[in-house]
Amino acid sequence: MEGPLDTSGTGMILQSLCVLEAAGRSDDRFAAAGQRMLECLKRCERGGKVLRSSAECGGIGIYPQRYGSYAWSVAPYLISLSGRQRKPEAVNP
């Protein structure tokens, strides 16, 4: 892997895997990857904040190397955490 961990990207990918799982379109590879991502995000959470999220871009092609806690990392994590703790039929009746 190149570069620092970006929890916002990890959270969004995990949220997508949860949607696949809820729709019954997941397999063991996706479930294992999703579990590793969830554990990674749990390790990055401190006091209700998900740390290590890339800061907002400064314009086209301007991405400062600042990391912190932002809504775009916290929201997908919480949605994914909620979805993975419920049975798929409860997520997608």
For the full predicted model, state whether its pTM sits above 0.75: no
Better-scored residue on pLDDT, 73 or 38? 38
Q: Residues of the chain with pLDDT > 90: what percent?
A: 1
Classify each residue of 57-91 as buried b or exposed e, where b means 16 or more C-beta atoms within 10 Å of its C-beta: eeeeeeeeeebebbeebbebbbbbbebbeeeeeeb
Averaged pLDDT, 79-86: 67
Asked which of 17-26, 42-51, 69-78 is least confident by mean pLDDT, the reply is 69-78
Q: Select the highest-mean-pLDDT range: 16-25, 58-67, 68-77.
A: 16-25
pLDDT of residue 92: 45
